[in-house]
Structure 1
Amino acid sequence: MIIEKQRVFRFAPSPNGYLHLGHAYSVLLNFDLARQCGGRLLLRIEDIDTGRARPEFEAAIYEDLGWLGIEWERPARRQSDHFDDYAHALERLDAMGLLYACDCRRSDIARATEGTPDWPRDPDSSPLYPGTCRAKPRRAAREALAAGGVALRLDMDEASARAGQGLKWREFGALRPSIRAGVADEAIRSSREGRGLVPADPARWGDVVLARKDTPASYHIAVVVDDALQGVTDVVRGRDLFEATSLHRLLQRLLDLPAPDYRHHDLILDEKGQKLAKSMAPTALRALRADGWTPADVRRRIGL
């Protein structure tokens, strides 16, 4: 008899603003899916950017989730408590010869690429790093960060060669057109229809930054390490992170980490068709609660 492994979901907000309707949609999807399959729901506080994280926003996350009726396993994992985990992963990549120190500023990159109108850009529309520092003598990652003034970049060509061919991920979330918050008769639907295996193309990101002295781990390295250490089997997140999954699969293979299943759901947009932001007070859950909204009202508005 085959015993199916218990599914583990997670909701991972950053405490740099108040949760809004988009966050509500994501956490409710995770919560509902975990309940439907008898799985677990974890909460992760992604405060790796200590310069922007605020304790009042973290406290508000717990308050808002409690109000929505979300139940999660305690305690929540706080990234700022686990810098050593990310440092270990970076040291492994460094030992493979895949990292190099870069002291280029954004203005340096802009000057190096502005003369080429068709210079390639990453999925976030930023110009790919031109490789200015790639050929410089390499120092140990820990030493380079301690010296300050540098970032650690992943040598994408070397990393891709090390990872080999056939990098894919399992995608279960249908990418449907986004809908706008405030249009009550339109609903966001979570698809459980598998889209099959998606080929990963991490090279589109170029030599990405994985760490800086003031931010000792990027989102990309932290998220794959956290998902592995927490045993996450299902990553349910917004489709704005769909392209980043290629990079995450690369890091998972390089670090011998398991690959979760992915569902990239629709985004909730504002009245102008833009992605909701934490700075948009009218959509903040605390503001809606103050206006008399109930958790049921939130579910109806976002189509759940």
Structure 2
Amino acid sequence: MKSFITRHAFLLSAAFLLLAGSSASGQQGSIQQSFENIEVVKINIGYGDLTVEKSTSGRVEVKGKYNDDEVDVELKTNGGKLSINEKSSWKGNKKEKSEWTLKLPASTDLTVNIGAGESHINGYAGELEANSGTGGFHLADVKGKIHLNSGTGNIEIQDSDGNFNLNSGTGNVKLAKVSGAISANSGTGNVMADNVSITGDSGLNSGTGNVSLSLGSPIKGDLALNSGTDNSRLNFNGYNFDGTLVMKCGKDSGKIEAPFGFDKEETEGSGRYDNTLKKTRKFGDSAVEITVSTGTGKASVQNK
């Protein structure tokens, strides 16, 4: 009798745990739809990952997976605009990541807002504005006007061409084989650009991280590299430069390195605030100006 009761209690406990696990995982919701004649897409995600790819059908294709107990999903079209909104449900606190995939025709403008999650964007062409509180952006083979903001995530872009405005609070910004006018900024992370072609006025900045740029072609616009407390480095990578080079550092706390001499050396500021060392060298007659600067680190240029 005792054995029967024990076995019965065990089975009831197992059944309870199974039901509890089923309840915790929630109901799986999904969406798979396509839309014609859409020019603008806006997607809002609370906690989830996003993948964006090029559409081969000429339509906007939407695919999503999410916990139906945790979020309500709403799709709306208005003229040539499509909005996808993910909202927390009253049924529970959101614990499971949703997964979204968008396939977009060329020239479809896209706005992305993610509370927490990663974005992977490949083959996109258009105007993109994307914001993430916690999570990074990973882009490849994109073309267009790109504006990215991440609170704590990394930004990585490769094999792309356009006008880039990139900002991360605490993450790194990494560019490889990118061409365009570029503004790349990090509060505490590194900003690293390799084999990059500057085709318009550009700036790479970090508050406390390293800033490094290796050119992929001659510069065709004004350029500023700056780190507040770490190193700033520019490698011309064998390309000739026509214009003015300005290098700056803290007079008593920074350092300037270059494989050539300078036409002019001076200090900036006035009185007791005369604390910035500035060196200038003119190459040719172009009006293009490059500034490489640091507060307490090393500002350096090389050409190899």
User: Which structure ranks higher in relative contact order (CA pairs < 8 Å, sequence separation ≥ 6)?
Assistant: 1
Q: TM-score, normalised by structure 2?
A: 0.20
Greater per-residue helix proportion:
1
Higher-Rg structure is 2
- Give the TM-score taking structure 1 as reference length: 0.20
* Higher share of residues assigned strand: 2
